[in-house]
Amino acid sequence: MGKVLIIEDEIEIAELERDYLHIAGFEADIETDGKEGLKKALTNDYDVYILDVMLPGMDGFEICAKLRDVKKTPIIMVSAKKDDIDKIRGLGYGADDYVVKPFSPSELVARVKAHVSRYESLVGKEQKNEIIKVRGLKIDKTAHRVFVNEEEKQFTSKEFELLLYLAENPNHVFTKDDLFLKIWGMESAGSDIATVTVHIKKIREKIESDSNSPQYIETIWGVGYRFKL
Ligand code: CA
């Protein structure tokens, strides 16, 4: 249903929030330090951030402003101080909402739900692209595009199908016959099993930093290939 990052140094509160979110079907991660929280928020995709104001390392206002520079994800700020609430309301930190401590966890969950659905309808289909992400490799299934370290690589349709098939079945060893049958199948006239080898080589040239020691598509000698997670 969605993934929430809770940045909160009072662990009992954080765990309470997490438990309520779990019950409502959300996944939730907890960070108790401001700087670590910001790092996690920037390097992962979440659907909502719940952000306490008073935090060790870096306060919630600064985290909020820094996140807002790069992410449109809804931010719900949490504070016990009236002054903070006025600040959140009045100033342009970019928070979408706030709750005052002490608050009822179910009220918080209701707000998380509301923000997730509003955000989803706002970003619409753009956000709903199905993406496979493994280390620096990003395969956009919906748009049929491949990115390596954020740089787009051009794939022919067969190269794309082959890479996608391997990536969707990670750690599974496929023989060349398996792959040939799966990807070329009915259209195999005029090509043979060596086509698989050629395509693997071309894919590696695009996605591997060193084709001789591939980090994504591994050769299992005498058997075939495996996509490494
Ligand atoms: Ca705090």
pLDDT beyond 70 at 124 = no
Could you tell me the domains of the chain?
2-123 (3.40.50.2300), 131-227 (1.10.10.10)
pLDDT of residue 83 exceeding 90: no
Token pair recorded at residue 76: 């719900």
Per-residue pLDDT, averaged over 72-92, amounts to 84
Cβ pair 206, 199 in contact under 8 A = no
Report the pLDDT averaged over residues 19-32. Answer: 94
In this prediction, residue 125 has a pLDDT band, given cuts at 50, 70 and 90, of very low
Distance CA 53, CA 27 (A): 22
Q: How far is the CA of 8 from the centre of ligand 1 (A)?
A: 6
**Residue 193 CB-half CA count within 13 A:** 8
Q: How far is the CA of 117 from the centre of ligand 1 (A)?
A: 27
SS3 179: helix
Query: Distance between CA atoms of 129 and 203, rounded to whole angstroms?
Result: 22
Q: Cα of 100 to ligand 1 centre, how many Å? A: 12
Question: At residue 104, does pLDDT exceed 80?
Answer: yes
Residue 180 Cα to ligand 1 middle (Å): 57
Distance 5 CA to ligand 1 centre (A): 15
Q: Which pLDDT value is given to residue 143?
A: 84
- State the DSSP string of 107-122: HHHHHHHHHHHHHHHH
